[in-house]
Structure 1
Amino acid sequence: MRAFKKSSQTMSKQRDFSNKIRTYHRYLGFFLAGIMAVYALSGIVLIFRDTDFLKREYHFEKQLQANLNAAQVGSEIKIKLLKFTATDGEVATFKQGTYNLETGAVEYTLKKLPYVLDKMAHLHKAKSADPLYFLNIFFGLSLLFFVISSFWMFLPKTTIFKKGLLFSAAGLVITLILLFV
């Protein structure tokens, strides 16, 4: 009788722990539903970042100092790795526009995502220098919690848990194939 009582208490503690994990999983999921939608949409948009998909063309004209080199012009107008492709007299040409070496006038065209999609994509690929980088860390840790806590959603002896392990293994194999092929 004593052994039954001890195993019953152990099972009760396991169930309590499992129920707590399920509760955390559920409410964290509700809390993060909005940001998960943002990351999902921006992730899809970022797949096409090397194309003009959804991008609009914007024309800019600025007055810079005269006689700047390509790196300085690129720094001023925020175009990385800007290179002059040709120089015709006082006008230097680059992929996105022109720069007048004598007057400092620069005209260029950029293709950008619409404002909201651009903000979403920026959040998705934030760096440690961005002010809200900790949000990405929190979100990443939350997703890791979802992965781990999903194994407490069902009791280990149930058929659905065993099938879940098979699906997890299949997902891991597919992920490894995608990473290394």
Structure 2
Amino acid sequence: MASPKFHMAFRKYHRWLGFFLAGIMGVYAVSGILLIFRPTDILKYEQTQTRQYEANLSGVELLPLLKMRGSKVTSENADKVVLNYGEYDKDTGLAVITKKDYPIVLSKMVKLHKATNNSPLFWLNISFGLGLLFFVISAFLMFIPKLPMYKNGLKIAGIGAVVTVLTVIFGS
């Protein structure tokens, strides 16, 4: 059995890492809540861009140039191409694109949350995940295993794991 000094050391590391990760957890919490509402327009505002392309492009030729996920041609005639995000004038080659997006700070937070291995932000995500894993392990090393608080903590952690597994299985 480990000494009380060992458990106190883990309490200290848990506490200091907890203070450090509190800021990161706050950012992840806000961005995670925003991601839940991404199909809606909550906190989004309209942004209009004008882009210059070649003249006389068809809708099929224009879509790959826009590089916008979900863009579609809704109608096309001799003068213009109407898109779900704006319109393109065939005579001038000018496209006016209007879409809704988060303000820059919230947009950056959402990108942080959705970072993949192609993004330089993924190192922060990996570090954060490892920090949370340390919390999981150190939470059980903070107390002496013979104490009732330790045994109750194991029961509560087990209940939390079961609820999470059931939610994942039946909730999606």
RMSD: 1.6
Q: Any idea what the Cα deviations from partners look like across 1:32-64, whole Å, max 9, x if unmatched?
A: 111111111111111101110111111121212
Match of 1:61 in 2: 50
Listed as ranges, the gaps of 5+ residues in structure 1 are 1-10
Count of aligned pairs? 167
The 5 A counterparts of 1:19-98 are 19-66=8-55, 67=57, 69-75=61-67, 79-98=68-87
How far apart are the structure 2 equivalents of 1:70 and 1:155? 66
Matched, 1:179 2:171: no
Listed as ranges, the gaps of 5+ residues in structure 2 are none
Taking a change above 3 Å as real, the CA distance of residues 111 and 51 of structure 1, as seen in their structure-2 partners, is: same
Matched, 1:146 2:135: yes
- Corresponding letter in the other structure for 2:128: F
How far apart are the structure 1 equivalents of 2:111 and 2:137? 28
CA contact (8 A) 1:71 1:81 kept: no
CA contact (8 A) 1:74 1:81 kept: no
Match of 1:103 in 2: 92
The 5 A counterparts of 1:2-13 are 11=1, 13=2
Q: Secondary structure at the match of 1:157?
A: coil
How far apart are the structure 2 equivalents of 1:50 and 1:70? 25
Match of 2:106 in 1: 117
Q: Please identify runs of 4+ aligned residues in structure 1 that moved more than 3 A.
A: none
CA contact (8 A) 1:70 1:83 kept: no
Q: Which has the larger radius of gyration?
A: 1
Matched, 1:166 2:158: no
Question: Normalization by structure 2: what TM-score?
Answer: 0.89
How far apart are the structure 2 equivalents of 1:73 and 1:107? 13
